[in-house]
Amino acid sequence: MKAEPESRIFKGVDVKFSIDDLYAMKDSTSQWDGVRNFEARNIMRDRMKLGDKVLFYHSNCKTPGIAGVAAIVREGYPDHTAFDAAHPYYDPKSVRDSPKWYMRKFAQILSLAELKEHGPLADMVLIKRGRLSVQPVQQSEYDYILELADKQ
């Protein structure tokens, strides 16, 4: 799951969201809003299940990389921000009947450059299709990343 950890003003609102921001929230829990890509939305809606672990990726920053691990605490539901005209992620094409729509912090970011150096991750969607904001991760890739983080 990708988020932008540095301030970025979008339609007058700072949309910054980092693993530290998630950790600071009540129960270290937040909705994941602003996803408008159909493939990413479908992954969230159809494949993510309660209790699944996700890699929290810092994107669009000086050192993009995996910042930690989070857990799914609720299965997919419509992103209410798509219907709020005052919200930066408002989507006038969204229809309510057919919407578009933390567990561990690593000691340091596993940078994208570093991840690319590891052969077992060569086929990872993040390496091959880095622009997709929500991506599937194979169990073997997930386990390997946790091993890298443990070595920090």
Q: What is the DSSP string of 68-86?
A: EEEE--S-----GGGG-TT
- Quick one: CA dihedral 42, 87, 74, 26, positive or negative? positive
* Domain membership flag for residue 91: yes
Its pTM stands at 0.68
Residue 104 forms part of a structural domain? yes
Answer yes or no: is 148 within a domain. no
Q: Name the one residue in this structure whose structure tokens are 């390496």.
A: 127
Q: Residue 79: what pLDDT? A: 80
Q: What does the pLDDT average to over 121-131? A: 89
* pLDDT at residue 103, rounded to an integer: 57
Residue 85: inside a domain? yes
- 97 or 105, which is more confident? 105
Domain count, the chain: 1
**pLDDT at residue 99, as a whole number:** 61
Contacts of residue 148, defined as CB under 8 A and 6 or more positions apart, other chains included, come to 110, 114, 118
74-94, pLDDT tens digit by residue? 887 778 788 888 888 888 887
pLDDT at position 76 = 78
pLDDT greater than 50 at residue 101: no
CATH number for the domain including 28? 3.10.590.10
Closest residue by Cα to residue 34 from 48, 50, 53, 14: 14
Q: How confident is the model at residue 51 (pLDDT cuts 50, 70, 90)?
A: very high
Any domain includes 71: yes
CB half-sphere exposure, 86, CA atoms < 13 A:
0
Average pLDDT on 62-66 reads: 95
Band the pLDDT of 102: cuts 50, 70, 90.
Answer: very low
Any domain includes 151:
no
Question: Is 27 part of any domain?
Answer: yes
Q: Is there a domain that residue 103 lies in?
A: yes
Domain enclosing residue 27, as ranges: 2-141
Cα 109 to chain centroid distance, Å, stands at: 14
CA 77-29-83 angle, 5° bins: 35
Q: Encoding tokens for residue 17? A: 């969201």
Is residue 71 a contact partner of residue 52, using CB atoms and an 8 Å limit? yes
The CA angle 124-129-135, to the nearest 5 degrees, is 65
